[in-house]
Amino acid sequence: MGQPGVPDILACHKGRFIGIELKAPNGKVSDQQTEFLKRINEAGGIGFVARTLDEVIDGLGLGDRFLIR
């Protein structure tokens, strides 16, 4: 039981805050989740919703590290 809207995955990589909200293919993002991700991005972090592994790879800008997707 935490604050509403907090993403499922929270991380910090090389000083950059990352928040990833995981959703099923048809999952709905709540207004609180949308606002939290917006605040992460406005503060210079990386915040996004991912429904597939490819969306995580793209959201983190790691596409060039994978030969096969």
Domain ranges of the chain: 9-65
Alpha carbons 59 and 1: distance in angstroms, whole number:
27
Alpha carbons 46 and 65: distance in angstroms, whole number:
18
pLDDT attached to residue 3: 87
pLDDT attached to residue 18: 98
- Residue 37, Cβ neighbours under 10 Å: how many? 21
| pLDDT per residue of the chain (69 residues) written in tens, 0 to 9 | 578 999 999 999 999 999 999 999 999 999 999 999 999 999 999 999 999 999 999 999 998 887 665
pLDDT attached to residue 42: 98
